[in-house]
Structure 1
Amino acid sequence: MCGFLTEFSFNSNITGKSIFTNLLGLSKHRGPDSTEIFSCDHYQLGFNRLAVLDLSENGNQPKYSPSKRYHVVFNGEIYNYKELKTQYKLKNLKSTSDTEVLVHLLDLLGVKDTLNALNGMFAIAVMDVQANTLYLARDFAGIKPLFYGMSSNGLVAASQFNQVFKHPWFKDSLKLRADVIKEYFAFGYMQAPNTIYKNIFQVKPGECIVIKDNETVERFSFNKEIATKEEMLKCFEKNQTKAALMKAVERQLVSDVPLASFLSGGIDSPLITALAKNKKPDLRAFTLSVKDDALDEGAQASLYAKELGINHEIQQVKETDLISEINKHFMFFGEPFGDYSSIPTYLITKKAKEHHTVMLSGDGGDELFFGYPRMLDIVKNRHWFKLPILIRRPLIRLASKLKLNKTWGPFHYKTIGEWVQGKQAYIFKNQLNEFFKDAEFSNEFKELYNFEHANTNKDLILKLRENEFFGHLQRVLVKVDRMSMANSLEVRVPFLDKEVVRETFNRLPETFQSSNDLKKTLKLLMLDFYSSSSINNKKQGFAVPMEKWLKGPLKKEVKTLVFDTAFYGAGLIKTNAIKDYVKDFYANKHEAAWGVWHIYAWQKWAQCEGLIQNNLN
């Protein structure tokens, strides 16, 4: 895992070394082991390395291909690099790193075919020196970040948002986008390909962008075969799922530094841990335990560890330890982000780093295997949307009085897409419209929540998975990447292995009508490793008592940032409506702690990046 910065000048006028070095330094925590910079008259490549495979200097970057045609910086891991080395009979390699396999493949296959061959998590910048063309590519699941900005001077691409918007080509001409800011306030993150600034973007998951001669000449998607194929759809099969996961875990156990597995009290990480223990008997498991019954997963994780007979490390912390890390954890985002589960994620990765450099996680299980109750609620109540809303509402009222209806979503939302959006949003639509003058969501966001063609149960189920995968999961991946990298810790995600996703995207639940159907395949797999009495089928999460914190230790700072500080983006946001919303929270007129946190996190990010100053009065 690493951090990189790329600059491609359209007029042979690169920025000075000190400026470039300082910008690269913003991602030093992502790669503390070595830093290297290459500069010529029209491009620069900078790289901060976290050494995981081949710890020698042979694994350093930037790296040329053997022919010297391609010059590469690459963040992430290619899990099938050994298979590719054998498949393409690569010889004369000087290291055991996946980066060297990558550059050899570029010479052999070219960029497009190389990207299609990769199984991993990655963000890659490839300079084709011969054609004076830059390629930017990001793994199909969006695990690793890749931001870029285009100006008349050239292109800047980087692992962090702030490395781009602080670059001299952009910093004095930043223009905010109201539509993306509105999306952030609702959902707490920036959805690719957009950012809150015009002319600064994110490479979409599974996308490659080709830049030449002052313009983007091509965009193409790779790994298209991962998409659902109607003719191949089948029900989940436990043994095939297990085989795909086992191979994924085996590929992701390769490391030249200490590796362990996160172990929670739920389903996903205990399953990954069990599969990993099967391949690596000396595997260690790691759990963060909070001295608060409402927050703690330690007891359940210990039950799992005992059944596996695994070395289990439990780090105990207090609630005050979490609170004490809040200010520091904001320093590592570099972008607006509003999911406050980032706080325990920061602390658990900080503690894990004390003894390990690589961790396995269970992220992605809910999205791929239908683990969210909200998905079930929508499928069970889709029939209401066959009726016009004016007819639907009185019928829902009547059904509710007769205790025949338990959900009010179809009453409040005109379409299924609006209901899905409402279930995932933390500030509701009516309130958002009070915050923003005329802004709508971006076209890309609208398309993510377009359920117009989900006319059957099957179509709806497939669209819900697609929405969760390219929507909510992206927020989870931002959180885990930024917080783990803040602590120079690599987190691997076996559920998002290319072969696992290919397998699951062409599978459906046999039935999807009750809570027993949520992640049913994974629950059945758990029985191969754990007794039924020990398995916790209730969805587990690391709960944060945010309302208590906002009205307690954080209250003073929240009020300072909202009421006594210039509000970032005030020209696009109705700040009086924002202030009233926060006032009402403290007056106990509503309990929307998530919404208040999104506002606080927005201001906190702007403060950390030097975009606002305190004390208006």
Structure 2
Amino acid sequence: MCGFIGEYTFKNYEVTQLTEFKKLLAMSRHRGPDASGIETGAGFQLGFNRLAILDVSPQGNQPKQSPSGRYHVVFNGEIYNYKALAQTYGLTNLHSTSDTEVLIHLLDKKGVETTVQLLNGMFAIAVVDTEKDCLYLTRDFAGIKPLFYGVAQEGVVMASQFDQVYKHTWFCKTLALVPEIVKEYFGFGYMQAPNTIYKSIFQVNPGELLQIDRQGNVTKKAIVSFKKTQKAVESTTDLSAILQNAVSKQLVSDVPIATFLSGGVDSPIVSAYAKKHIPDIEAFTLEVDNPNLNESEIAKAYATHLEIKQHIVAVHERDLLLEIDSHFKAYPEPFGDYSSIPTYVISKEAKKKHTVMLSGDGGDELFFGYPRMLDVLQKRWWFKLPFFLRKPLAQITNTLGLTKTWAPYFKSLDAFIANKHLKLPVETLSAAFPNTSFSKSINNLYSFTNSNNSRLLHEQRWNEFYAHMQRVLIKVDRASMAHSLEVRVPFLDKNSIESAWQQEGELHNMQDLKKNLKKLLAQEIPETLINQKKMGFTVPLNNWLHKELRADVMHFVFDTPFYGKEAMDVSVLQDYVTDFYAKKHDNAWGVWHIYAWQKWANLHV
């Protein structure tokens, strides 16, 4: 796990001066504090900050060239099947035991596109092909690792961090906001790939390969993608075996490794399987002093039964509050998921003893873990009725106590589902961004077919995977890498995803949520211990905003110049905050999005 930045120039332009390039590279030093390297070639420049995980010797440093000298590479992440690939393709004369070494040899043997298709892991890779005289950019199929790039008159800048691109001299003086993407941030709390809030700066989509030539032509190809439509297949492989194999591959490390352990379902499965391979594996659990948010007692029971040494990271609310400003520094892009605060704190503690952690992220998205998915299935029938009938019918059924829902008031099923993910109301977003629609990519993500339960459920999983999960992965990556901590996600192993994608989901009641995973956990832990209630990893935000954070919110929202005022009606957003403190609504998360935007702008722009 590391950080990189690169430049690839168009005709008649040169790379930036080395001193300037070093400053930009230093911005991601926390992602890789163990070694730094720069390579400058004909029309390109690559910089790398290394967090040494596999082969911690200098032989594992980057940038690297393929043995033929054709390919020049920087690579952030882990390739979990690198040993199998080396054996399958007879890769010899390896000068390092790192996965990067296998990657550069494989590029010579199979070329870029075939190589990327063979990889199982989490990665962001930039490759300069000196024979074809082009640049390749690619990102793992789940979107675990970040990869930003900007296209300017002078050339392309690619980097692990958003700020390394927008602060580059080719962009910093001409930054222009994209109103629809700014609107999406305020609604959803993150920037959905392939877009960013700035014109000419983008993200590589999960599973995508980009080829860029010296004339600035960009060709995109989906290398690995998981389909929105589904043909269910009866799996012949046991899910337990698939996940155990994923965990086993992700335990390979030359530095200390442990797990995160919550009181839920996903991380206990990962921890239990890790224990089978590393008997003395350790686990980290966050303990907070709010009984409504604290899962640590359940997690302690899990650890005791599994005989795992557990580190309880006990924090008081005041400890979390003290970390808020430091936590905002870890997010060089606008980001509005406030559960990033406890994620930041537990990552900080875990790094004191370990460099690599396993987490349970991805389980909810792949195995139908969100109650909102069930709610959509139970209310989809409303959208079979004409809209003009729905509202009066709902008024009657709600009044009689037969229903209690606002679903019929949405004009479409798409709008109903999207609203479940929005943290600012549609009305507020529309007023703040008049005549501004959402982007094509968001509209595609929130487009559903109401033909039958099975198809609608799979489309919801596809949406969760390519939308909400991306926000979760941003949260974890930035919070952990701020402390030079690598977090691996076994549920997002390629084989795990492919297996899950073949299975038709079935939700009839709350007990069906993650039913398959609960069965697996029951094989490791007595069923009576398993927590049936989803609590989440959160903080008492409403209380904080009304008390400890109120002065800071008022300062940044009202007394500080509002960033991007040319792209929005700031008064609408300020009025929304005012109404919150006047107790006209209690949407703390929406207020946090507004506050977080200003904190990001004042810290990073």
Deviation at 1:214, TM superposition (A): 2.4
List structure 1 segments (4+ residues) > 6 angstroms apart after TM superposition: none
Write the distance in 1 (CA, Å) between the matches of 2:535 and 2:85: 38
Tell me whether 1:445 sits opposite 2:446 in the alignment: no
Deviation at 1:228, TM superposition (A): 6.5
User: Paired residue for 1:358, among 350, 356, 359?
Assistant: 356
Larger deviation, residues 319-328 vs 209-218: 209-218
Deviation at 1:335, TM superposition (A): 0.4
Write the distance in 2 (CA, Å) between the matches of 1:292 and 1:175: 43
Write the distance in 2 (CA, Å) between the matches of 1:223 and 1:582: 42
Letter in 1 for 2:354: H
Write the distance in 2 (CA, Å) between the matches of 1:141 and 1:55: 27
1:517-548 deviation line (CA, Å, top 9, x unaligned): 10000011111000011000111212311111
Deviation at 1:303, TM superposition (A): 0.3
User: Paired residue for 1:475, among 471, 478, 503?
Assistant: 471
Paired residues, what number? 604
Larger deviation, residues 208-217 vs 485-494: 208-217
1:168-210 deviation line (CA, Å, top 9, x unaligned): 0000001100000000000100000000001000000000110
User: Paired residue for 2:484, among 468, 481, 488?
Assistant: 488
Tell me whether 1:220 sits opposite 2:221 in the alignment: yes
1:437-489 deviation line (CA, Å, top 9, x unaligned): 221111111111011x3422121011100000000000000000000000100
Map of 2:461 onto structure 1: 465
Spell out the pairing of 1:174-185 with structure 2 (5 A cutoff).
174-185=175-186
Name the SS for the 2:583 alignment partner: coil
Which ranges in structure 2 are unaligned for 5 or more consecutive residues? Answer: none
1:264-301 deviation line (CA, Å, top 9, x unaligned): 01111011111111122111111121123223221111
Using the size of structure 1 for normalisation, the TM-score is: 0.96
Tell me whether 1:137 sits opposite 2:138 in the alignment: yes
Map of 1:266 onto structure 2: 264
Map of 1:377 onto structure 2: 375
Which ranges in structure 1 are unaligned for 5 or more consecutive residues? Answer: 612-617
Deviation at 1:229, TM superposition (A): 6.9
Tell me whether 1:585 sits opposite 2:580 in the alignment: yes
Spell out the pairing of 1:182-581 with structure 2 (5 A cutoff).
182-224=183-225, 226-227=226-227, 230-234=230-234, 240-409=238-407, 411-451=408-448, 453-509=449-505, 511-581=506-576
Write the distance in 2 (CA, Å) between the matches of 1:231 and 1:598: 38
- Compared with structure 1, are the counterparts of its residues 485 and 86 closer, same or farther at alpha carbon in structure 2 (3 Å cutoff)? same
Write the distance in 2 (CA, Å) between the matches of 1:544 and 1:432: 25
Do the aligned partners of 2:228 and 2:459 also contact (CA within 8 Å) in 1? Answer: no
1:564-593 deviation line (CA, Å, top 9, x unaligned): 111111011111111111111111111111
How many percent of aligned residue pairs carry the same amino acid?
A: 53
Map of 2:14 onto structure 1: 13
Name the SS for the 2:528 alignment partner: coil
Do the aligned partners of 2:228 and 2:462 also contact (CA within 8 Å) in 1? Answer: no
Name the SS for the 1:571 alignment partner: helix
Spell out the pairing of 1:72-111 with structure 2 (5 A cutoff).
72-111=73-112
Map of 1:127 onto structure 2: 128
Deviation at 1:412, TM superposition (A): 2.0
Using the size of structure 2 for normalisation, the TM-score is: 0.98
Deviation at 1:232, TM superposition (A): 4.1
Name the SS for the 1:381 alignment partner: helix
Do the aligned partners of 1:64 and 1:72 also contact (CA within 8 Å) in 2? Answer: yes
Letter in 1 for 2:329: M
Name the SS for the 1:39 alignment partner: strand
Do the aligned partners of 2:31 and 2:484 also contact (CA within 8 Å) in 1? Answer: yes
Name the SS for the 1:84 alignment partner: helix
